[in-house]
Chain A
Amino acid sequence: MDVGQRLTDQNFPESPEKATLEGKNKFLGFWLFLGGETVLFATLFGTYLGLRNSFGKGPEASEIFQLPIVFIATMILLTSSLTSVYAVLALKENRVKAMRGWFFVTLLLGVAFLGLEIYEFVHYVHEGHTFTSGAFGSAFYTLVGFHGGHVLFGVLWIAALLVRNSGRGLTLYNSPKYYLFALYWHFVDVVWVFIFTVVYLMGKVG
């Protein structure tokens, strides 16, 4: 079967994302990439944990962190992880409209998260907590900013996928692409779980 051919309910494989060799390779390669990403974020977390009390000229973490906004951001990202799971379930049932709808909701929630983060960073800078105010500031913006960069990349990725495949059904060619985005998005949420725990909650109690 041609990989670009629209799948029907009759010939729909159980795992369309792994039905071709290319799909299998992408699946394995992406998981190995996520293993590498884990180490990348570990270096940033380790650095942050080492420097988190070196405030320099800036304010202390417990003074500036605002838990309500972090809580809302956490809920937004958690919900977006659920919507991308719904999208993958729809993918496995060959319901392409539902899948694209859930991915679009995921995209909107990602944008909302980025908006909150930008608002938060602007607020911190006004409070004197900047990239150069101390080692804490440098480590904080590098770690949280790197995660925000991953969210931004994910938003651009799914936007590109949705635009490129608009009006197209699911094929053996585009199913792995959608599936891998969902994996990436879950991983970004996993990193955030540690950021709100290690950076914000631990920063609040010192």
Chain B
Amino acid sequence: MASHEETKSVHHHTSLQKKIKLKQERRQHNVSFVMMILLTIVAFAAIASDAVSNQVAILFILVLAAVQVFFQLYVWMHLGHKGHEFPMWGIASGLLIAVITVGTLMGLIW
């Protein structure tokens, strides 16, 4: 009887932990959504305003894009969670080849 009570309370405990974890996750998702909206607005504003020179603005919005991709991959696609080692290798090698490809094509076409 006592052990039954114990397993029941353990079960209750783990489901409570799961609930707290999911609540934290929801908050993370909301924060990253607000961040991405802000980054997008800043990127559009940087281009629309004449205050920054075009070269600086281009560099700036490329950095903003990289930050947004980080939020998408890490928070929304859960790449930071455990059990994502192989997915990490898959997407990282994809990104590496992607950067080389873009660089090469830009260099080849003139």
Contacts and interface: CB of A to CB of B under 8 A. Distances in A.
A189 to B, nearest CB: 6
A26 to B, nearest CB: 12
Interface stretch (A81-89, A103-111, A120-128, A155-163): A81-89
Contact of B106 (A36, A50, A189): A50
Closest 6 pairs (CB-CB, A-B): A46-B105, A50-B109, A35-B94, A42-B98, A31-B87, A38-B94
Given A46-B101, A67-B44, A205-B47, A85 B29 contact: yes
A190 interface: yes
Interface residues of B, number: 47
B82 to A, nearest CB: 10
Contacts, number: 123
A150 B79 CA distance: 22
B25 A89 contact: yes
A42 B48 CA distance: 27
B108 interface: yes
Nearest to A183: B77
Which secondary structure characterizes the binding site on chain B? helix
Nearest to B102: A46
A75 B83 CA distance: 31
Given A31-B91, A37-B94, A46-B104, A78 B109 contact: no
A197 B64 contact: yes
Nearest to A79: B33
Interface residues of A, number: 49
Interface of A: 14-15, 18, 27-28, 31-32, 34-39, 41-43, 45-47, 49-51, 67, 71, 74-75, 78, 81-82, 85-86, 89, 92-93, 183, 186-187, 189-190, 193-194, 196-198, 201-202, 204-206
A78 B33 contact: yes
Nearest to B86: A28
A198 B98 CA distance: 15
Interface of B: 18, 22, 25-26, 29, 33, 36-37, 40, 43-44, 47-48, 54, 57-58, 61-62, 64-65, 68-69, 72-73, 76-77, 83, 86-87, 90-95, 97-99, 101-106, 108-110
Contacts of B61: 197, 201-202
B95 A38 contact: yes
8 contacts: A31-B86, A34-B94, A39-B94, A47-B109, A67-B44, A75-B40, A93-B22, A193-B68
A67 B40 contact: no
